[in-house]
């Protein structure tokens, strides 16, 4: 014989529904407890065998208390209590339903604001703004076949989620949950860079002599050395790890000049102050890392400097590294001498 298919399991009630049911039970218990007051109970006036108890209630007080208890019982009957509890339960359930509907509407409105990125190749228009898509002034006016250097760059349109013309990570909804994320809970304005310690307006700021001063930052590497450079408008000071650069590089002019070469090549050395934090590697590797970081910071300050910096290969990462030592050999290539006897 065929048996009917088992019913699918019912989903668990949402958190709001469970809280509403708990609230209904609590209110019903409080309503029932409030209906039974101590005045509805009367203590007996005599003990065993008809002997009066010590401190027994007088007949007049007993009749008065009985009258109050009867009036209280009449005012708080069982149907009245049940009706009050039912009304309270209906009100709480309605409030929970309205709260769930409101949360659904807010979630649907948040999801509606997030759209997919689109790009029209004919009109070259898109529904998002990528702040890292920067161009040199006058570059759009030059035809591609007349440009001096042809690059293999190919434009790849963005097709991910977009929120208020800002590309965002897939799976997020805005504003972000303050219990899971630190502020700001909204993405920046369209065309403003974010991350790397930037302020909400997309720039870097530091406090100098009690004033908020803007700076431009770059990170570079060379061999096993790493450098972080901050470029501030000033008079040409060059500080590395809290020391003067000439003293840090042991008064060796080649390393000092190599570190500040991008700024000196554009005749901007005396218009900016260079603040460097470097670690790892040796003096030569740190000088190369500072040069790359300084060139990237200069590009952040003025993107029109990029063609000159790129042509001079200041923005190119030097990939040359020390070849690691091999097992069974003296060094990377050197072997132990062979002796026949």
| C-beta separation of 226 from 220 below 8 A | yes
**Model-level pTM greater than 0.85?**
no
The string of pLDDT tens digits covering residues 45-99 is 444 444 444 444 455 545 544 444 444 444 456 666 677 777 787 778 877 777 7
The three state secondary structure string of 62-99 is: HHHHHHHHHHHHHHCCHHHHHHHHHHHHHHHHHHHHHH
The string of pLDDT tens digits covering residues 269-289 is 999 999 999 999 999 999 999
Q: Let me know how long the chain is.
A: 341
The string of pLDDT tens digits covering residues 240-263 is 999 999 999 988 889 999 999 999
Closest of 220, 239, 223 to residue 315, by C-alpha: 220
Most confident range, picked from 131-135, 156-160, 308-312: 308-312
- Predicted local distance difference test score (pLDDT) of residue 145: 75
CB atoms within 10 A of CB 278: 23
- Predicted local distance difference test score (pLDDT) of residue 27: 54
| C-beta separation of 195 from 219 below 8 A | no
- Predicted local distance difference test score (pLDDT) of residue 33: 46
């Amino acid at each position: 014989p065929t048996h009917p298919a088992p019913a699918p399991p019912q989903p668990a009630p949402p958190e709001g529904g469970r809280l509403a049911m708990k609230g209904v039970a609590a209110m019903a218990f409080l309503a029932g407890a409030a209906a039974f007051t101590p005045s509805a109970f009367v203590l007996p006036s005599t003990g065993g065998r008809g002997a009066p108890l010590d401190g027994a209630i007088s007949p007049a007080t007993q009749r008065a208390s009985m009258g109050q208890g009867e009036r209280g019982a009449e005012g708080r009957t069982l149907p009245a209590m049940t009706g009050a509890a039912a009304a309270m339960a209906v009100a709480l359930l309605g409030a929970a339903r309205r709260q769930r509907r409101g949360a659904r509407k807010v979630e649907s409105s948040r999801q509606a604001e997030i759209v997919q990125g689109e790009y029209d190749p004919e009109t070259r228009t898109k529904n998002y703004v990528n702040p890292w898509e920067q161009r040199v002034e006058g570059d759009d006016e030059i035809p591609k076949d007349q440009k001096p250097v042809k690059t293999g760059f190919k434009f790849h349109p963005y097709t991910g989620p977009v929120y208020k013309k800002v590309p965002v990570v897939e799976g997020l909804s805005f504003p972000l949950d303050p219990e899971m994320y630190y502020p700001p809970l909204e993405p920046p304005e369209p065309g403003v860079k974010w991350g790397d310690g930037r302020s909400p307006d997309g720039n870097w700021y530091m406090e100098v002599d009690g004033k908020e001063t803007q700076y431009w930052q770059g990170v570079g590497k060379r061999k096993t050395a790493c450098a972080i450079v901050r470029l501030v408008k000033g008079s040409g000071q060059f500080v590395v790890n809290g020391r003067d650069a000439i003293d840090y590089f042991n008064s060796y002019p080649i390393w000092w000049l190599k570190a500040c070469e991008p700024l000196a090549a554009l005749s901007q050395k005396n218009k900016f102050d260079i603040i460097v934090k470097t670690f790892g590697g040796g003096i030569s590797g740190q000088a190369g890392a500072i040069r790359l970081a300084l060139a990237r910071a200069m590009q952040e300050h003025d993107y029109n400097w990029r063609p000159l910096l790129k042509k001079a290969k200041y923005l190119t990462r030097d990939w040359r590294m020390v070849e690691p030592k091999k097992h069974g050999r003296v060094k990377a290539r050197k072997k132990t001498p062979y002796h026949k006897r």
